Amino acid sequence: MTPDHRLHLVECPRDAIQGWPHPITTEDKLAYCRTLLRVGFDTLDMGSFVSPKAMPAMADTGKVLAQLEEEGIWDQTDTRALVIVANERGARDAVGFESVSDLGFPLSISPTFQERNTRASIDEAWRRLDIVSNLCVKSGKELVVYLSMGFGNPYGDHWNEDMPAVWASELQKRLTPSVISIADTIGAADPELVERVFSRVVTEVGHEIVGAHLHIHPMEGLEKIKAAHRGGCFRMDGALRGVGGCPMAQDDLVGNVPTEWIVEWAGKSGLWQPAQPQALDQALSLAADLFA
Coil, strand or helix at 118: helix
Taken as a whole, the chain contains a residue count of 292
Q: What angle do CA 203, 165, 214 make, to 5 degrees?
A: 100
- pLDDT (tens digit, 9 = 90+) per residue, 45-103? 999 999 999 899 999 999 999 999 999 999 999 999 999 999 999 999 999 999 999 99
**What pTM does this model have?**
0.96
Q: What angle do CA 66, 71, 73 make, to 5 degrees?
A: 95
Question: What pLDDT sits at residue 245?
Answer: 75
- pLDDT (tens digit, 9 = 90+) per residue, 120-162? 999 999 999 999 999 999 999 999 999 999 999 999 999 999 9
Burial bucket for residue 140 (CB in 10 Å: 0-12, 13-18, 19+) = exposed
Cα atoms in the 13 Å half-sphere on the side-chain side of 77: 28
User: Please, which pLDDT band fits residue 2 given cuts at 50, 70 and 90?
Assistant: very low
Domains, in order of start, for the chain: 3-290 (3.20.20.70)
Share of the chain above pLDDT 90, in %: 91
Classify each residue of 171-205 as buried b or exposed e, where b means 16 or more C-beta atoms within 10 Å of its C-beta: bbeebebbbbbbbbbbbbbebebbbebbbbbbebb
Helices of type H across the chain: 13-18, 26-39, 61-71, 88-95, 111-118, 122-139, 163-175, 191-205, 223-230, 259-269, 277-290
- pLDDT (tens digit, 9 = 90+) per residue, 180-199? 999 999 998 999 999 999 99
